[in-house]
């Protein structure tokens, strides 16, 4: 009797779960633990890329980097590029290797020297977006962002 009752309970739970899961969009089927442990990431929208006419071999590139709430970028480098970042909206926490962690708000900015290792870049808000205007002066043809290999 207990086995039959247990099988009935499992069948009822499986049916309820199947009905609930089929009503959800595909992205909502991820287990809750996976959603809470992983941060969203940034998206990059290119604005302008132009070879510098008076500096042979160098290119000026500008992009808008959009961080949804709680988004975090992978640790990365920008090769030999000189980088300028300006906070268009929201609040961003940033840290370069060998430097203290800093929080930047709308209207604030920073620079990254060529070869800098960017350890942390994240939106500090759980509800609001953050956006950066990022400008690179790089060697023409160089990759502008290289994520660290995952450990």
- Segment 106-126, tens digit of pLDDT: 999 999 999 999 999 999 999
Handedness of CA 34, 119, 150, 43 (dihedral sign): positive
Q: What mean pLDDT do residues 57-83 have? A: 97
**How high is the pLDDT of residue 127?**
97
Phi, psi of 92 (to 5 degrees): -125, 135
**How high is the pLDDT of residue 38?**
77
96 vs 151, more confident: 96
Per DSSP, the residues of 80-119 read T-EEEEEEEESEEEEEETTS--EEEETT-EEEE-TT-EEE
**How high is the pLDDT of residue 120?**
96
For the cut 80, the answer to whether the pLDDT of residue 92 exceeds it is yes
Q: Measured between alpha carbons, how far is 127 from 17 in angstroms, rounded to an integer?
A: 30
Percent of the chain with pLDDT over 90: 72
> Cβ distance 143 to 79 under 8 Å?
yes
Closest CA relative to residue 46, chosen from 28, 55, 29, 59: 59
Q: What mean pLDDT do residues 44-64 have? A: 97
SS3 11: helix
Residues comprising the chain, all counted: 151
Helix (H) or strand (E) run with residue 33 in it: helix 32-37
For the cut 80, the answer to whether the pLDDT of residue 58 exceeds it is yes
């Amino acid at each position: 009797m207990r086995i039959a009752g247990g099988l009935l309970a499992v069948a009822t739970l499986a049916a309820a779960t199947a009905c609930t899961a089929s009503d959800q969009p595909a992205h909502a089927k991820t287990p809750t633990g996976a959603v809470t442990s992983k941060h969203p990431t940034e998206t990059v929208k290119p604005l302008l890329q132009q070879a510098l006419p008076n500096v042979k071999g160098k290119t000026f590139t500008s992009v808008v980097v959009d961080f949804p709430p709680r988004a975090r970028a992978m640790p990365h480098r920008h090769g030999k590029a000189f980088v300028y970042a300006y906070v268009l909206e929201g609040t961003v926490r940033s840290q370069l290797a060998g430097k203290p962690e800093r929080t930047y708000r709308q209207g604030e900015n920073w620079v990254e020297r060529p070869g800098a290792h960017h350890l942390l870049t994240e939106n500090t808000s759980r509800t609001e977006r953050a956006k950066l205007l990022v400008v690179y002066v790089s060697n023409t043809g160089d990759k502008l962002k290289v994520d660290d290999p995952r450990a």
